[in-house]
């Protein structure tokens, strides 16, 4: 490690102790941020940790909707997102006004919202889900109720297939996962014929149909333990290769595509940003009280539902 980086990390550790802070990092963050973090994980895992920690300060290395969820679930804590401009192309596909309008068109529907959405959209929802528990959330809805699934049409299509329930799908998608095509899977299999293909459910149906396993990033770590091959092709944001290689050093992991599987928003936070955030104790993530109360009940219902 470069001397400068080592010095920055030492200072971060010192400030963490002084401020009783904890660093959470999503699996898509750069390797040096994941290695720095106290806890890494997917949206569901990090939401649980944010709610459970007794630290006074949460430095959230991820994107804004995740930090908002942490602030909602841990209102007595200071939640800091080191770079405020870390957004999400998927979350941007739904606004609260659009969800209210959709509710008017489907007044009897249960609104299930993927956590990759703004706090304002969560506040308009009956329950949230993550890619890790979406199937179980749907299974809990009485069979005679309509379901409006917001905002990821690909995740919605996948849970529709898993549950046999017909969902009203929002027309949003993650630009990173939606860019993966069936031909990319076929080309990856040709390059690595011994490997099992694991993809994220935000991928298109044509891609999930060709995979050996479809799971959240948290589920991928478990799938690697469960599946017999030693080699894997991973169809999600390339940051996920780092925790997989760390957790299973005896296995070989290949990205599904040679390029293009990068979420720019997940790569914005640097060690210097984390240091600056801890020094200044900002930027603090805040959600207005009314939105937070309503979003919190949708999130808490989600946390009651186990992983698929």
Answer yes or no whether residue 79 interacts with ligand SF4 by CB under 6 A: no
Nearer to ligand SF4, 12 or 180 (CB): 180
- Near ligand SF4 by CB under 6 A: residue from 90, 155, 169, 180: 90
User: How many residues belong to the site for ligand SF4 (CB under 6 A)?
Assistant: 13
Rounded least distance, CB 263 to ligand SF4, Å: 3
Task: Check residue 201 and give left, alpha or beta (phi > 0: left; psi -120 to 50: alpha).
Answer: alpha
Residue 81 CA from chain centroid, whole number: 15
The C-alpha atoms of residue 98 and residue 135 are separated, in whole angstroms, by: 24
Nearer to ligand SF4, 66 or 79 (CB): 66
Contact 38, 59 (CB under 8 A): no
Answer yes or no whether residue 265 interacts with ligand SF4 by CB under 6 A: yes
Residue 265 CA from chain centroid, whole number: 12
Rounded least distance, CB 93 to ligand SF4, Å: 10
The residue ranges of DSSP E strands in 181-289, in sequence order, are 196-199, 213-214, 231-235, 252-255
- Near ligand SF4 by CB under 6 A: residue from 35, 38, 39, 89: 89
Nearer to ligand SF4, 92 or 212 (CB): 92
Rounded least distance, CB 175 to ligand SF4, Å: 6
226 CB-near residues (< 8 Å, 6+ apart): none
239 burial (CB, 10 Å; 0-12 / 13-18 / 19+) is buried
Rounded least distance, CB 262 to ligand SF4, Å: 9
Q: Where do runs of H (alpha helix) occur along 215-288? A: 217-226, 241-247, 271-280
The C-alpha atoms of residue 150 and residue 286 are separated, in whole angstroms, by: 23
Residue window 226-255: x/- pattern of binding to ligand SF4, with contact defined by CB under 6 A = -----------x------------------
Answer yes or no whether residue 266 interacts with ligand SF4 by CB under 6 A: yes
Contact 286, 118 (CB under 8 A): no
Nearer to ligand SF4, 90 or 109 (CB): 90
Answer yes or no whether residue 116 interacts with ligand SF4 by CB under 6 A: yes
- Near ligand SF4 by CB under 6 A: residue from 44, 57, 63, 110: 63
Smallest CA-to-CA distance from 295 within 129, 152, 141, 128 is with 128
Rounded least distance, CB 268 to ligand SF4, Å: 11
Smallest CA-to-CA distance from 68 within 307, 308, 298, 261 is with 298
Rounded least distance, CB 90 to ligand SF4, Å: 4
| 154-183 binders of ligand SF4 (CB under 6 A) | 174-176
Q: Which two tokens stand for residue 246?
A: 């760390």
| Interface with ligand SF4 (CB under 6 A) | 28, 63, 88-90, 116, 174-176, 237, 263, 265-266
């Amino acid at each position: 490690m470069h001397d400068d980086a080592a010095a920055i990390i030492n200072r971060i550790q010192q400030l963490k102790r002084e401020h009783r802070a904890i660093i959470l990092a999503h699996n898509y963050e750069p390797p040096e941020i994941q290695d720095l973090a106290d806890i890494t994980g997917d949206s569901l895992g990090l939401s649980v940790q944010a709610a459970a920690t007794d630290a006074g300060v949460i430095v959230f290395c991820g994107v804004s909707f995740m930090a908002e969820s942490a602030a909602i679930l841990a209102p007595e804590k200071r939640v800091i997102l080191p770079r405020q401009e870390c957004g999400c192309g998927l979350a941007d596909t739904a606004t609260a006004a659009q969800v209210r309008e959709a509710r008017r068109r489907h007044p009897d529907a249960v609104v299930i919202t993927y956590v990759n959405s703004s706090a304002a959209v969560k506040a308009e929802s009956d329950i949230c889900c993550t890619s890790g528990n979406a199937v179980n959330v749907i299974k809990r809805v009485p069979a005679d109720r309509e379901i409006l699934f917001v905002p990821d049409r690909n995740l919605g299509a996948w849970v529709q297939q898993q549950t046999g329930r017909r969902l009203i799908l929002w027309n949003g998608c993650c630009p990173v996962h939606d860019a993966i095509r069936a031909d990319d899977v076929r080309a990856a299999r040709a390059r690595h014929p011994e490997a099992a293909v694991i993809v994220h459910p935000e991928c298109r149906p044509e891609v999930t149909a060709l995979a050996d396993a479809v799971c959240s990033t948290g589920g991928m770590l478990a799938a690697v333990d469960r599946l017999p091959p030693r080699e894997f092709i991973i169809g999600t944001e390339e940051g996920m290769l780092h925790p997989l290689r760390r957790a299973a050093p005896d296995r070989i992991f290949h990205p599904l595509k040679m390029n293009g599987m990068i979420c720019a928003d997940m790569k914005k936070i640097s060690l210097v940003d984390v240091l600056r955030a801890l020094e200044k104790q900002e930027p603090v993530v805040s959600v207005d009280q009314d939105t937070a109360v309503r979003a919190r009940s949708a999130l808490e219902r989600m946390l009651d539902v186990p992983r698929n």
